[in-house]
């Protein structure tokens, strides 16, 4: 391996690890607005990773994906979520299904699981971005965990977006980006999902006087 590739590979790894770390920060955070800020920060790391991969490999279309990440996930979606929080006047996640230390421990376990699952397929990957696939899966699992462990509609949305970030890191890491039409479609879907969730939390607030999803108990067996 040439020296520049090695350096590049380490930089990509560094960025991916920062993504993972911001996941842990989201899990450890009680304040909703801080969760949203952390998500924006994570998306910024993601865009940096993508741009880095684009620079090191010369795949130009990844630059486009990085730019779209900045516009949609760093600027637009966090702004929508902040507006929702402001309008609904909820700032803290008072009750969680699982307390923070236990949650962090579980997330640590999830990272181990992710590395374990991807072990047999990692050697197939490009040298540059090998370890990112395992990290991507870890981020997806932590996002999933956040959606289960948190009760507020806004944090569930953040959990979903974190999962999406994980998948995107996987795309960049595993295959240097998907075909352009697919990537554009995915961005469109994520944006619309964010908008819909924004409108939806508003309606939930009107109907239930709360965005605590544990209040959603009208439907039972």
Partner 1 sequence: MWPVIVLLAGPVLAGLLSLVIHRARLLHAVNFATMLGLAVAETFLTKRVLAEGSVTTLGSLVYVDALSDFILIIITAIGLSCSLYMWSYMDEQVARGVIAPKHLGVFFFLFHMFLFAMVAATMANSLGVQWVAVEGTTLATTFLIAFFRRKESLEAGWKYLILCSVGIALALFGVVLTYYSSVRVLGDASSALNVTDLIGVADRLDPNVLKLAFLFILVGYGTKVGLVPMHTWLPDAYTEAPAPVAAMLAGVLETVAVYTVLRSKALVDQALPPQFTGNLLLTFGFVSFVVASLFILLQHNYKRLFAYSSIEHMGLAMLGFGVGGLVGTFGGLFHLLNHALAKALAFFAAGNIHRRYDSLEIENVRGLARSQPITAVATLAAGFALVGLPPFSPFVSELLVVSALSAQNFASDTMHVGRFVAVTVSDEMRSLGLVGVFLFFGVVLFGGMMARIGAMVWGTPQDGITRGERWTVGHVPVLAMIAALVGLSVMIPESLRTLVTRAVHVIVVR
- Give the residues lining the site for partner 1 (CB under 8 A): 59, 117-118, 120-121, 124-125, 133, 136-137, 140, 143-144, 147, 153, 156, 160, 163-164, 166-167, 170-171, 174-176, 178-182, 185-186, 188-189, 192-193, 196-197, 200, 203-204, 207-208, 213, 216, 218-219, 221
Cβ proximity to partner 1, 37 vs 164, nearer residue: 164
Cβ proximity to partner 1, 100 vs 182, nearer residue: 182
In 3-131, where does DSSP find H-type helix? 3-27, 32-57, 61-68, 77-88, 100-118
Residues in Cβ contact with 160 at an 8 Å cutoff, skipping those fewer than 6 apart: 143, 147, 193, 197
Cβ proximity to partner 1, 54 vs 133, nearer residue: 133
Among candidate residues 19, 21, 24, 27, the one with its CA nearest the CA of residue 47? 19
Q: How far is the CB of 80 from partner 1 (least distance, A)?
A: 15
Q: How far is the CB of 213 from partner 1 (least distance, A)?
A: 7
Residues in Cβ contact with 147 at an 8 Å cutoff, skipping those fewer than 6 apart: 156, 159, 160, 163
Cβ proximity to partner 1, 3 vs 178, nearer residue: 178
Q: How far is the CB of 64 from partner 1 (least distance, A)?
A: 13
Tell me the C-alpha distance between 164 and 162, whole Å.
5
Q: How far is the CB of 195 from partner 1 (least distance, A)?
A: 9
Tell me the C-alpha distance between 144 and 142, whole Å.
5
Tell me the C-alpha distance between 183 and 208, whole Å.
36
Please answer whether residues 120 and 128 qualify as being in contact, where contact means their C-beta atoms are separated by less than 8 angstroms.
no
Q: How far is the CB of 202 from partner 1 (least distance, A)?
A: 11
Cβ proximity to partner 1, 17 vs 178, nearer residue: 178
Contacts 24+ apart (CB under 8 A), 185-190: 187/65, 187/68, 187/72, 190/72, 190/73, 190/77, 190/161, 190/164
Q: How far is the CB of 138 from partner 1 (least distance, A)?
A: 12
Cβ proximity to partner 1, 1 vs 124, nearer residue: 124
């Amino acid at each position: 391996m040439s020296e520049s590739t090695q350096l590049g590979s380490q930089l990509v790894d560094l960025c991916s690890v920062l993504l993972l770390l911001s996941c842990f920060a989201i899990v450890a955070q009680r304040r909703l607005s801080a969760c949203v800020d952390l998500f924006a920060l994570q998306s910024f790391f993601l865009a940096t990773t993508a741009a880095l991969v684009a620079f090191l490999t010369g795949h130009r279309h990844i630059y486009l994906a990085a730019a779209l990440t900045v516009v949609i996930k760093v600027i637009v979606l966090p702004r929508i979520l902040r507006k929702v929080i402001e309008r609904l006047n909820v700032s803290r996640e008072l009750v969680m299904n699982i307390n923070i230390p236990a949650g962090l421990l579980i997330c640590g376990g999830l990272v181990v699981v992710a590395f374990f699952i991807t072990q047999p397929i990692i050697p197939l990957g490009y040298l540059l971005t090998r370890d990112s696939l395992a990290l991507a899966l870890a981020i997806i699992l932590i996002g999933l965990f956040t959606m289960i462990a948190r009760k507020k509609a806004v944090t569930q949305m953040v959990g979903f977006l974190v999962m999406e970030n994980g998948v995107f890191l996987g795309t960049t890491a595993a295959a240097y980006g998907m075909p352009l039409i697919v990537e554009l479609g995915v961005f469109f879907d994520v944006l619309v999902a964010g908008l819909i969730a924004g409108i939806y939390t508003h309606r939930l607030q009107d109907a239930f006087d709360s965005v605590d999803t544990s209040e959603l108990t009208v439907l039972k067996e």
